[in-house]
Amino acid sequence: MGTLHNELEAEAAKYLEEFNYDLETLENLILRLAHSNNDRAKLTNILRLAHSLKGSAGSYGFHLLSTLFHRMEDHLVVLDFTNSSLTDTIDTLLKFKDDLESVFCAYKNKDHSLLEKFQIKLGLQEKQADLSPQEDHEKPYRILLVETSKVIVSSIITTLQDFNIEISTLKDGYEALGRLLKEKFDLLIIGGQVSTIDAANLIEILKILPNANQDIAMVVLSSSKDKFSNLASHKLHILEKGPLLRQDLLVLLKHVPLKKVNLLKEDFHQRPLSLWVLDDSVEIHKLIDISFKKFPHVHITHFETAAMVEEKIKTEAPDLILLDVQMPEINGDELFKNLKAKGLLRDRKVAFLTGTDEPQEINKLRLLNPFAILKKPFSPKTLPQELFELLDQGEKLPQVS
Amino acid sequence: MAAKNLVVIDSDLEEIVPAFIAKRKIELTLINDAISQQNFDLLMSIGHKLKGNAGGYGFDQLSEYGSQLEIGAKQKDLTTINEAFSLISDYLNDLSIEYKRVD
């Protein structure tokens, strides 16, 4: 037994000796990217090397190295969906390489304190006492995205690419469970019907098994909100897969505890705001008045016909116009097109308020590139917050080309 | 005696809910007349509004019935329309509201 242990230790030491060459190879591959003219094949080479080194580091018991390679792989997969510049890509990959080098040295010198710091930094250890506020702030917000549809994955990644977020993508519930049992994530976004272990079962398993993610915020993506409505809670949100997913996700990200992602200004929560509401139902006007009762900085002007808006917009400039879609005579979307055609909209923001559930109808509205599409019925409790957040995020809202 | 349909509503809405419900009760006659005249456009419009407005006032079930009325009218399906009408009517007649502060 003792001999076997010694042999394994000797093998591990040999592995560490050779690891230096692996790091050199990795660095060379990364630096060569600079002359690659954004050649995807070069990225694939790095991905392959990271994948192979991840396996060998893990099998020799160097789990921190293995985890770092895994994160590097995650990053390379996500890169496929984004339009990151080559400089940013090289920069990030070199940072991974630097971390790998530090961890390698820590293993070699048996520097347990540095190894522990990396354990915490990578979310493999809960205790955070040793992290300085600066180090804690630099820890990226980690999302595990489990979804089979490439379109949905791409849509989510591109929506989140401007935030300081680290995304790991997987297609399968079983693999996701493996990662969740080992590493700490801040948010789990999971397709309702992913294979092997579906969202509902994975959530149940996470509650039972000891792991660092028992308190994790979750988003279940579903083709129908009702399917998972029984799971919904303050920590678990259900988002519908569909044309509004990106918008809904941006709104939701303001509600989950995203301290490190809060990069956006929040001045619309206080700044005077002129809001116009066009709806043929007086009950909606009353509900909107009640919704904004606690926000005296919001000045609301009500309109019951499209003609009234068309006249007033010639002389006044609101910050935001809420347009009901289905109305007698002129619909909200028709008015929007008219105002645009006449050059009366300029940079005024228009959001549609619609009661339709038809994806085709929502898609039609989306193609008009409004500022946002809000669904009826809306909650008077959450409407103001939702609007302020959309206004804060303003330019970040996805546009259809 | 039939059990009351108790709905808890945020007290912030207390000043606008009674008028909303009163209007819905008056609307029952309008729906009934529209059914007799097979005025599907009007039924669709009433259903659509009910679906979009009732939920915001805290009456989610009524919103569902509105959706059913809208779908029935779209399909010109009198069975669905009549069923939705009786559900709306029963809901409003049995309704009892309790206002509570919701944070």
Mark yes or no for CB contact A377/B63 under 8 Å: yes
A14 in B contact zone (CB under 8 Å): no
Largest CA distance in chain A: 90
**DSSP character string of A120-152:** HHTTS----TTS-HHHHHHSPEEEEEE-S-HHH
State the average pLDDT over residues B24-42. 96
* Interface check B83 vs A, CB under 8 A: no
**Per-residue pLDDT at B88:** 97
Buried b (16+ CB within 10 A) or exposed e, B53-70: bbbbbbbeebbbbbbbbb
Q: Which residue has the tokens 């097979």?
A: B38
Partner-chain contact A290 B52, CB within 8 Å: no
> Measured between alpha carbons, how far is A101 from B98 in angstroms, rounded to an integer?
64
Q: Could you tell me if A381 lies within 8 Å of chain B, comparing CB atoms?
A: yes
Q: Which of A283, A304, A353 should be substituted to probe chain B, the one whose Cβ sees the most B Cβ atoms within 10 Å?
A: A283
Residue A223 or B70, more confident: B70
Contact A377 B23 (CB under 8 A): no
Q: At B39, phi and psi to the nearest 5?
A: -85, 85
The verdict on pTM exceeding 0.80 is no
Interface test with B, best of A290, A358, A383, A386 (most B CBs within 10 A): A290
What was the pLDDT predicted at B3?
A: 53
d(CA B26, CA B58): 19
Q: Which amino acid is at A13?
A: A
**HEC string for A272-328:** CEEEEEECCCHHHHHHHHHHCCCCCCEEEEEECCHHHHHHHCCCCCCCEEEEECCCC
Query: How close, in Å, is residue A330 to chain B by CA atoms?
Result: 14
A281 touches chain B (CB under 8 A): yes
Residues of A in contact with B45 (CB under 8 A): 328
Q: How many CB contacts within 8 angstroms connect chain A with chain B?
A: 53
Q: Dump pLDDT digits (tens) for A294-307.
A: 888 899 999 999 99
A285: nearest CA in chain B? B53
Q: Phi, psi (5° rounding) for residue A83?
A: -115, 45
Q: Are the C-beta atoms of residues A230 and A222 closer than 8 Å to each other?
A: no
ipTM: 0.89
d(CA A170, CA A245): 19
CA separation (Å) from A339 to A307, A373, B70? 11, 17, 30
Task: Tell me, yes or no, if B54 comes closer than 8 A to chain A by beta carbon.
Answer: yes
Return the percentage of chain A with pLDDT > 90, whole number. 25
> What gap in Å lies between CA B95 and CA B91, rounded to an integer?
6
Alpha-carbon gap, residue B63 to B55, rounded angstroms: 5
Q: Per the structure block, which two tokens stand in for A358?
A: 């038809």
Average pLDDT over residues A47-68: 89
Element (H, E) at A177: helix A173-182
What's residue A256's pLDDT?
54
Q: Is the pLDDT of residue A144 over 80?
A: yes
Peptide bond into A359 cis (omega under 30): no
Q: Which residues lie below 8 Å from residue A97, measured CB to CB, with a gap of 6+?
A: A23, A26, A27, A30
Whether residue A377 and residue B51 make contact (CB cut-off 8 A), yes or no, is yes
- pLDDT confidence of A84, banded at 50, 70, 90? confident
Are residues A376 and B20, on separate chains, in Cβ contact within 8 Å?
Answer: no
pLDDT tens figures, A164-212? 788 999 999 999 999 999 888 888 999 988 999 999 899 889 888 888 8
Lowest mean pLDDT among A232-236, A350-354, A387-391, B77-81: A232-236
Beta partners for A222?
A240
Q: Give residues with Cβ within 8 angstroms of A14, minimum separation 6.
A: none
Distance CA(A109)–CA(A293), nearest Å, equals 63
Residue A225 forms contact with B (CB below 8 Å): no
Mean pLDDT of A97-125: 87
pLDDT at A104 over 70: yes
Residue A328: per-residue pLDDT: 83
- Binding-face residues of A in 303-362 toward B, CB within 8 A: 326, 328, 355, 357
Instruction: Using pLDDT thresholds of 50, 70 and 90, give the confidence band for residue A353.
Output: very high
Type of residue found at B89: S
In Å, how far is A380's CA from the nearest CA of chain B? 6
Kindly list the residues from chain A whose CB atom is less than 8 angstroms away from the CB atom of residue B15: 290
Phi and psi of B9, rounded to 5°? -120, 145
Determine the length of chain A: 401
